[in-house]
């Protein structure tokens, strides 16, 4: 059994808009005569778009029409029809995410990109995708080291820290190549927050003033210092706190970072520095040089990122989708389901039927924000529920609680980590019968605060694609 699906990644960033198509191969890795175990075995990028400047209508608005045109043109150039695209993600990143019509753009694009292309935004997710697109998770695993990826874009620098391949933290600061723009010898734009902080640091800069290379160089070196501080390589100064995007959190102090990969547009122009540092009408080239020459950053073990300017878009196309376990129960007519908030039953509440029920019912009530119920995904690890008897006990609680607390027209969606979903699904069906639709998946670890997208079944109905959108990364 070998099946391939096409996945798309679209990144609308501060400065650039890009797209990739990749082919994900799924294979049954269980032996013949065994219960199937379908996994994604290969991810091959089959098409990379040109890199476009993100079209804007004004400083505050993205030009939706033009973005759509770019995407349509690229689908055509790749010879791919949106109907063929089975999964993927549109992500809006950096400063662009702060534009007033960002949500509208995302919605419009994910709709036109394919049936199960999810919309995603948020600095934490962006950091993770860039890190995975840069291959930092793999590098960290292979070298058994704590390696951070710093994706330096136009508006933000996204950091994702991996320890032995495992994600241990993300962070995002407002350091980017397009936070100051220059044209024809004049400073044409300064990101207001940066302007304020720079002034406080004795580096006052105004829009309209003539370009002073020395001053811009000092600002870039200062921004590179902020990166070193964010990685805990340099003692923090008082302005540093102000750099965190949307008041976000710094990376955890542990593990101590050993290695670094650099991705993003700025990293892209570090390898071959153009002669004119202002050829992009911004400070990207200078910032790249400042990062390269920063003492603390260059003290880390340098690893080459698999992708630089395309890291985020590759992450969006290749690394957002996972497949569920291969023995699941689901009513496929309900799928796809998008943006399901996750109701997590923590390990400590699974000890007895009573505590399980209490946790479930209290939380179900919370998922009625306006008095109206949202379709939620009940998530639990499933350890200790392997035997037939324990599965029955779990099914009893789930069936009873959903009857009492879940509005009639909502399906019961349950995701577990352990391989028990088919047995649990059948047990639920015996209890709930025709009264309620049931979707029961395993192999999925989703935590409180996550959102889930569940696609239509693949591999002859054995698995479903799942995207877990981690909006807040809990360290």
Partner 1 sequence: MKLKTTLLGHTYEFKSLREVMAKANEEKSGDKLAQIAAENAEERVAAKAVLAEVTLEELRNHPAVPYEEDEVTRIIQDDLNETIYKEHKNMTVGEFREWILDEKTTGDRISRASRGLTSEMVAAVCKLMGNLDLIYGAKKICVTARCNTTIGLPGTFSARLQPNHTTDDPKGIMASVMEGFSLGCGDAVLGLNPVDDTAESVARILKSFDEFKRKWEIPTQTCVLAHVLTQMEAIQKYQAPADLMFQSIAGSQKGNEAFGITGAMLEEGRDLMRKEGTASGPNVMYFETGQGSELSSDAHNGWDQLTMEARCYGFARHYQPFLVNTVVGFIGPEYLYDSRQVIRAGLEDHFMGKLSGVSMGCDACYTNHMKADQNDIENLASLLVAAGCNYIMGVPQADDCMLMYQSTGYHEAAALREIFGLRPIPEFDQWLEKMGFSRDGKLTPLAGDASVFLDEQMRRQEDGR
Partner 2 sequence: MVDEKQLRSIIEQVLGEMELPDINREERHEIHAAAADTAVSYKEEGAEEGVLPDISQVNVRTQYLVENPRNKEAFYEMKQYSPARLGIGKAGARYKTLPYLQFRAAHSAAQDSVFSDVDPEWIKKMDLFCVQTRCENKDMYLTRPDLGRRLNEQGVLAVKEKCRKNPQVQIYISDGLSSAAVMANAADVLLSIQQGLKSFNIETGTPFFVKYGRVGVMDEITQLTEALVTCVLIGERPGLLTAESMSAYITYKGTIGMPEAHRTVVSNIHRFGTIPAEAGAHIAEIIKIMLEKKASGTQLKM
Decide: is 271 part of the binding site for partner 1 (CB under 8 A): no
CA distance 76 to 50: 13
Separation between Cα atoms, residue 116 and residue 110, nearest integer Å? 8
What number of other Cβ atoms are within 10 A of residue 422's Cβ?
18
User: Which residue from 29, 69, 193, 271 is in contact with partner 1, where contact means CB under 8 A?
Assistant: 29
Residue 33 binds: one of partner 2, partner 1, none (C-beta under 5 to 8 A by kind): partner 2
CA-CA distance, 323 to 40, in Å (whole number)?
7
Residue 185 CB, nearest approach to partner 1 (Å): 40
> 25 or 188: whose CB is closer to partner 1?
25
Task: Choose, by CB under 8 A, the member of 179, 420, 446, 464 that binds partner 2.
Answer: 420
185 is an interface residue for partner 1 by CB under 8 A: no
Q: Is 25 in the site for partner 1 (CB under 8 A)?
A: no
Among 213, 301, 386, 445, binds partner 2 (CB under 8 A): 386
In the window 116-155, what residues touch partner 2 (CB under 8 A)?
Answer: 144
33-52 residues near partner 1, rule: CB under 8 A: 37
Q: Strand pairing partners for 145? A: none
Which segments of 206-307 are extended strands (E)? Answer: 259-263, 301-302
What are the backbone angles phi and psi of residue 284, rounded to the nearest 5°? -55, -45
Residue list 89-148, contact with partner 1 (CB under 8 A): 143
List the one residue from 212, 246, 302, 387 that touches partner 2 (CB under 8 A).
Answer: 387
Q: Residue 63: beta bridge partners?
A: none
**Segment interacting with partner 1 (CB under 8 A) among 30-38, 86-94, 227-235, 313-321:** 30-38
Q: How far is CA 63 from CA 17, 70, 227, in A?
A: 12, 11, 31
Contact between 305 and 264 under an 8 Å Cβ cutoff? The reply is no
**What tokens were used for 159?**
């950091």
Q: Which is nearer to partner 2, 30 or 80 (CB)?
A: 30
CB 458 within 8 A of CB 26: yes
By C-beta, is 31 or 369 nearer to partner 1? 31
| Integer angstrom CA distances of residue 253 from 156, 236, 237, 243, 419 | 21, 13, 16, 18, 35
Query: For binding to partner 2 (CB under 8 A), which residues are involved?
Result: 30-31, 33-35, 144, 327, 329, 386-388, 391, 419-423, 425-427, 429-430, 460
Query: For binding to partner 1 (CB under 8 A), which residues are involved?
Result: 2, 29-32, 37, 143, 302, 304
């Amino acid at each position: 059994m070998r099946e391939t699906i096409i996945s798309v990644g679209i990144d609308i960033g501060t400065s650039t808009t890009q797209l990739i198509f990749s082919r994900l191969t799924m294979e049954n890795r269980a032996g013949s005569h065994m219960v199937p175990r379908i996994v994604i075995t290969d991810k091959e990028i089959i098409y990379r778009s040109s890199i476009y400047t993100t079209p804007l209508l004004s400083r505050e608005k993205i030009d939706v029409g033009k973005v759509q045109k770019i995407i349509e043109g690229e689908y055509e150039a790749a010879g791919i029809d949106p109907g063929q695209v089975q999964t993927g993600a549109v992500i809006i990143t950096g400063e662009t995410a702060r534009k007033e019509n960002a949500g509208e753009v995302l919605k419009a694009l994910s709709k036109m990109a394919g049936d199960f292309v999810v919309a995603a935004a948020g600095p934490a997710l962006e950091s993770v995708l860039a890190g995975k697109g840069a291959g930092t998770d793999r590098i960290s695993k292979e070298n058994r080291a704590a390696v951070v990826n710093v994706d330096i874009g136009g508006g933000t620098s996204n950091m994702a820290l991996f320890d032995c391949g495992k994600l241990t933290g993300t962070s995002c600061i407002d350091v980017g190549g397009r936070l100051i723009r220059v044209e024809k010898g004049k400073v044409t734009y300064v990101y207001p927050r940066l302007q304020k902080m720079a002034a406080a640091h004795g580096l006052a800069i105004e829009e309209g003033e003539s370009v002073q290379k020395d001053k811009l160089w000092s600002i870039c070196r200062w921004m590179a210092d902020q990166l070193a501080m964010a990685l805990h390589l340099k003692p923090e100064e008082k302005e540093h706190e102000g750099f965190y995007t949307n008041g976000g959190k710094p990376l955890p102090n542990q593990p101590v970072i050993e290695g670094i990969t650099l991705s993003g547009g700025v990293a892209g122009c570090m390898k071959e520095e153009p002669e004119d540092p202002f050829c992009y009408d911004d400070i990207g080239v200078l910032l790249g040089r400042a990062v390269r020459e920063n003492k603390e950053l260059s003290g880390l073990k340098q690893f080459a990122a698999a992708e630089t300017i395309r890291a985020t878009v590759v992450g969006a196309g290749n690394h957002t989708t996972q497949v569920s376990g291969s023995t699941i129960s689901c009513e496929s007519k309900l799928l796809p389901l998008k943006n399901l908030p996750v109701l997590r039953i923590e390990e400590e509440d699974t000890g007895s039927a009573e505590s399980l029920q209490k946790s479930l019912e209290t939380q179900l009530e919370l998922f009625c924000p306006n008095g109206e119920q949202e379709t939620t995904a009940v998530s639990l690890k499933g350890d200790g529920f392997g035997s037939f008897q324990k599965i029955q006990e779990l099914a009893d609680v789930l069936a009873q609680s959903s009857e009492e607390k879940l509005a009639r027209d909502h399906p019961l969606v349950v995701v577990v980590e352990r391989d028990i979903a088919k047995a649990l699904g059948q047990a639920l069906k015996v209890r709930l019968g025709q009264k309620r639709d049931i979707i029961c998946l395993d192999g999925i670890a989703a935590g409180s605060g996550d959102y889930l997208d569940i696609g239509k079944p693949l591999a002859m109905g054995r698995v479903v694609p799942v995207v877990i959108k981690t909006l807040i990364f809990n360290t």
